[in-house]
Structures are given as structure tokens and as C-alpha cells.
């Protein structure tokens, strides 16, 4: 490979790794803050919350990697423009082909990786994240609960409140436990409670002292009240079911479906490699800058174009989901339009000569 091409490849790859690391770190921090605010650690624990963050970050790579590539092309080629190196290449007879080639050498492997991630990694990560999310909502492990807060699950109809908790022993005081089974609601109140070691069959055992149990019938007056000095409750491991989630479905299954939502999801996955290549190509003209043009102005324009393109991608997918747009053109009209704009700009000399040939 000629020295010029290797030099351009190096200028593009160098900022790519740095930008990708920054984006991944920012997304992981954002996800961590959101899950901490939702108190996920109190239901799943720190370890599984970390796994959930990793899965969400892995899913986000199909967007973060194209952003990093797009930004790296703008930054790398922008520096060459700023230092007048591109001008020197053009003066030596090297046109856009000498720039497009190295950019494609970098972009094509990255686009293939994004495609594999979107087609195969995305459904796997979504399936596991849905399972962890469902487990976080279903599991009620009192060892992770804090005093003065309500914990509940709408699916199982369970609510727990702990007024006080000893941080050393884990013993709880003034405990309120509500559960609903069919037409019967049961309320258990206890002065003290503690969670014992898990049994060998995986069940949790909670011991309650000095309290009352109310069994309330929804459609009859046959309510019951009982007092106790010691009561033991067993909690089964929740059966986690995520139901049908199209984002977790395998790509071949989506391609066989005739549901608009499934078609939109399949087209989104299939379009990710193409979108990655188009972003890399549109970044080439965006990297052009004059010596008097500020760096921030170029970056702002690049960010604006990416935001418009990405939001239009979401709109195109929504139109397919809602049946506004048929399977053909589906989401492809946007990428075709983008490809036309890119080709008109990058190969304007060719089109100019072509038009001159007809005149």
C-alpha cells in the first residue's frame, strides 16, 4: 500500500479508538447513574447490575461505533485540511479517490463488525437484559432493602415496607408485607423480622416475630385475622418470563414475519452496516475546512448532520412500524437519499464531465 494511503489510514484510526473509549465510558456512566437512581442494586445486587450495564453498553455499540468512526474521519482529515496537506495532495494530482480509498479500508471492517453486532449480538444482549430487568422487578430480597422505603412488584402484587433496619445484623423492625393471590389479599405486620440463610432448594426464608396476619376477601365478608409470635415465610425464586420482545428475536425469525414491527426491527439491523459506511463517506466533505474556519464550526456542522440523519432513521423505522411506509421502500429510502447526496458531492467532477459530454 502506498505511503499516502497508510498515512491517511493512521490519521483516521488514531482518533477512532480514543473517541470510542470516551463514548463507551460516558454511556456506561449514564447507565450506572440511571440504575442507581432506580435502586436496581437493592433488588439485583451490584454484580448483576454491573452485568446489566455491560449488556446495555454492548447494545449501544451499534450506535457508538459509527459515531466514533464518523467523528474520527472528521477529526483526522480535518487536521490534514488544516495543515494544508490535502491541498498538497491535490496539487500533486491525487484526487478524492486517494482519500476515499483509505477511509473505506478503515470503514468496511468496522461496518462488517457493526453488522454482526446488530444482527446477532443485539438480540442476544436484549434477551439477557430483559431477563435481568424482569428479575429485578420480580425478586424481593430483603437483605438488599433499605429502611423507610416501599418495595413492590406490580406483576406479583407484592409490597414490602421496612421502617427500620440494623446495618450490622440485618434485622428489620416494623415490617409491612402485602401480597395478592387471586381474590384474596393478605397483609402481614411484624414487630421484628430477619432473612435467614437461603435453603438448599434456593428458597429464601424470612422469620417474623410478634405480628398480625390479615386475610381479606375481595367479594365476601369472610375476612380473617390471626396473631402470631413467630412466623416463617418462604419465598420461591421468581419465574422470569419476558414474553415476546421483537428486539430479542433472532434476525431470521424477524425476516420471516409479516408484522410491521418485526419488519422495521429487521430493516434497522440490516441497515446498520450501510449507515456506518455512509456516515464515514459523508464525513469526508465535512472534514474540509479553510485556514480561517474554526475547528468548533466544523465539529458543530458534523454533529448537526449526524443528529438529523440518526433522527430521520428513527422516524423511518417508526413509519414502518406504524404501517405508514410499506416494507419497500421501508427504511431504505433514507439511506438511498443519503447515498445520492454523498455520491454527488464526492464525485462531482465525474458528474460534471458527464454533463459536459451531453452538452
Of 175, 207, 235, which residue is a domain's last? 235
Over the stretch 267-287, which tens digit does the pLDDT of each residue have?
A: 999 999 999 999 999 888 887
Burial class (CB in 10 A: 0-12, 13-18, 19+), 40: buried
Say whether both 119 and 215 belong to one domain: no
| Banded pLDDT at 148 (limits 50, 70, 90) | confident
Total number of domains constituting the chain: 2
Say whether both 210 and 293 belong to one domain: no
Dist CA 61 CA 293 (whole Å): 32
Say whether both 133 and 247 belong to one domain: yes
Of 207, 235, 263, which residue is a domain's last? 235
Q: List the Cα angle 149/153/155 in 5-degree steps.
A: 165
Q: What is the pLDDT of residue 67?
A: 94
| Banded pLDDT at 290 (limits 50, 70, 90) | low
Q: Which of 77-81, 153-157, 215-219 has the lowest mean pLDDT?
A: 153-157
Dist CA 68 CA 15 (whole Å): 8
Q: What is the pLDDT of residue 160?
A: 82
Say whether both 85 and 170 belong to one domain: no
Segment 135-149 mean pLDDT: 67
E strands along 79-140, which residues? Answer: none
Q: List the Cα angle 8/9/12 in 5-degree steps.
A: 90
Over the stretch 299-308, which tens digit does the pLDDT of each residue have?
A: 788 888 889 9
Say whether both 128 and 171 belong to one domain: no
Say whether both 120 and 15 belong to one domain: yes
305 near 286, Cβ under 8 Å?
Answer: yes
Closest CA to 206 of 220, 219, 195: 195
Task: Indicate whether 215 pLDDT > 90.
Answer: no
Q: What percent of the chain has pLDDT over 90?
A: 25
Query: Crossing angle of helices 260-286/295-321, nearest 10°?
Result: 160
Say whether both 230 and 248 belong to one domain: no
Query: Which residue range forms the structural domain that includes residue 42?
Result: 3-137+243-358
Closest CA to 66 of 254, 338, 319: 338
What 3-state class would DSSP assign to 239?
Answer: coil
Of 209, 235, 261, which residue is a domain's last? 235
Amino acid at each position: 500500500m502506498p505511503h499516502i494511503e497508510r498515512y491517511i489510514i493512521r490519521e483516521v484510526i488514531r482518533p477512532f479508538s480514543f473517541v470510542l473509549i470516551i463514548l463507551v465510558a460516558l454511556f456506561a456512566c449514564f447507565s450506572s447513574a440511571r440504575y442507581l437512581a432506580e435502586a436496581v442494586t437493592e433488588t439485583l445486587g451490584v454484580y448483576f447490575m454491573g452485568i446489566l450495564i455491560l449488556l446495555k453498553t454492548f447494545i449501544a455499540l451499534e450506535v457508538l461505533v459509527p459515531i466514533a468512526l464518523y467523528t474520527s474521519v472528521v477529526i483526522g482529515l480535518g487536521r490534514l485540511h488544516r495543515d494544508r496537506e490535502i491541498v498538497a495532495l491535490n496539487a500533486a494530482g491525487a484526487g478524492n479517490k486517494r482519500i476515499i480509498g483509505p477511509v473505506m479500508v478503515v470503514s468496511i471492517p468496522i461496518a462488517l463488525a457493526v453488522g454482526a453486532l446488530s444482527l446477532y449480538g443485539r438480540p442476544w444482549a436484549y434477551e439477557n437484559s430483559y431477563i435481568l430487568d424482569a428479575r429485578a422487578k420480580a425478586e424481593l430480597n430483603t437483605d438488599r432493602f433499605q429502611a423507610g422505603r416501599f418495595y413492590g412488584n406490580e406483576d406479583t402484587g407484592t409490597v414490602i415496607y421496612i421502617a427500620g433496619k440494623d446495618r450490622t445484623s440485618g434485622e428489620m423492625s416494623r415490617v409491612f408485607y402485602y401480597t395478592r393471590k387471586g381474590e384474596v389479599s393478605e397483609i402481614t405486620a411484624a414487630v421484628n423480622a430477619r432473612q435467614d440463610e437461603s435453603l438448599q432448594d434456593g428458597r429464601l426464608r424470612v422469620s417474623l416475630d410478634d405480628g398480625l396476619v390479615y386475610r381479606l376477601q375481595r367479594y365476601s365478608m369472610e375476612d380473617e385475622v390471626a396473631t402470631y409470635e413467630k412466623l416463617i415465610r418462604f419465598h420461591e425464586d421468581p419465574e422470569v418470563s419476558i414474553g415476546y420482545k421483537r428486539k430479542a428475536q433472532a434476525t431470521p425469525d424477524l425476516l420471516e414475519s409479516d408484522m410491521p414491527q418485526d419488519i422495521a426491527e429487521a430493516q434497522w439491523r440490516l441497515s446498520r452496516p450501510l449507515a456506518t459506511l455512509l456516515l464515514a463517506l459523508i464525513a469526508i466533505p465535512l472534514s474540509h475546512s479553510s485556514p480561517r474556519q474554526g475547528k468548533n464550526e466544523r465539529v458543530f456542522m458534523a454533529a448537526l448532520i449526524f443528529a438529523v440523519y440518526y433522527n430521520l432513521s428513527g422516524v423511518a423505522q417508526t413509519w414502518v412500524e406504524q404501517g405508514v411506509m410499506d416494507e419497500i421502500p421501508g427504511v431504505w429510502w433514507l439511506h438511498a437519499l443519503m447515498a445520492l447526496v454523498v455520491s454527488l458531492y464526492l464525485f462531482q467532477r465525474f458528474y460534471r464531465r458527464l454533463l459536459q459530454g451531453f452538452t
